[in-house]
């Protein structure tokens, strides 16, 4: 199975998709690779703004941007 990743640009804690999609083979050993939104949020808090690659199915549906620095509320 060939997994794809969306390119995510984070600026001042706001994440937005750039529209570029890449395969896992292109990102081998990349430290900016994220499998989930929570992993992306952790990396942004630790490393700051930049370009990251998020698994294509991990981005929330019908959402253009996500603020990764606000405190998240659990849904339990």
Classify residue 12: in a domain, yes or no.
yes
pLDDT tens column, 31-44: 889 999 999 999 99
CB 3 within 8 A of CB 23: yes
Alpha helices for 1-68 (secondary structure H): 37-47
Tokens (6 digits) for 73: 């509320």
**pLDDT given for residue 20 in this prediction:** 93
Give the confidence band of 71 by pLDDT, cuts at 50, 70, 90: confident
Classify residue 76: in a domain, yes or no.
no
For the chain, how many structural domains are there in total?
A: 1
Tokens (6 digits) for 58: 């991990």
Classify residue 74: in a domain, yes or no.
no
- Quote the percentage of the chain above a pLDDT of 90: 64
Classify residue 21: in a domain, yes or no.
yes
d(CA 51, CA 9): 5
Classify residue 11: in a domain, yes or no.
yes
pTM: 0.85
Comparing 44 with 24, the larger pLDDT belongs to 44
């Amino acid at each position: 199975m060939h997994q794809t990743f969306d390119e995510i640009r984070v600026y001042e804690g706001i994440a937005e998709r750039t529209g570029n999609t890449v395969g896992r083979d292109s990102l081998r050993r990349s430290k900016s690779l994220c499998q989930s939104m929570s992993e992306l949020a952790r990396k942004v808090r630790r490393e700051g703004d930049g370009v990251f690659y998020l698994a294509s199915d991990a981005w929330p549906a019908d959402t253009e941007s996500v603020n990764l620095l606000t405190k998240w509320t659990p849904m339990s």
